[in-house]
Amino acid sequence: MDRFTISIDSELLSEAMRLSGKKRKREVIELALCELIKKHRLAELQDLAGSGLVDWTPEDFTSWREAAKEEENE
């Protein structure tokens, strides 16, 4: 794991910690990074909808999201 020294708005960090329930700054920063990555990957998948490159049904997509959430909670 790499170590970094960064400046982060303390009010934003405090609010993120409160909302997430995380106790450590590292945990809330990692959570935020993971959520950002998921958001952008989801947008990329949605952009492919109707392109013919992906033939997932809405049900396939829903089951994929549920499986990802279960994996996250393990």
Nearest residue to 10 (alpha-carbon basis) of 21, 18, 20: 18
Per-residue pLDDT of the chain (74 residues; tens, 9 = 90+): 899 999 999 999 999 999 999 999 999 999 999 999 989 988 887 777 767 777 777 788 788 888 888 877 76
Q: Is the CB of residue 17 less than 8 Å from the CB of residue 28?
A: yes
Which pLDDT belongs to residue 47?
Answer: 78
Q: How far apart are the first and last CA of the chain?
A: 21
Q: What is the pTM of this model?
A: 0.66
Positive or negative, the CA dihedral 12, 27, 31, 19 is: negative
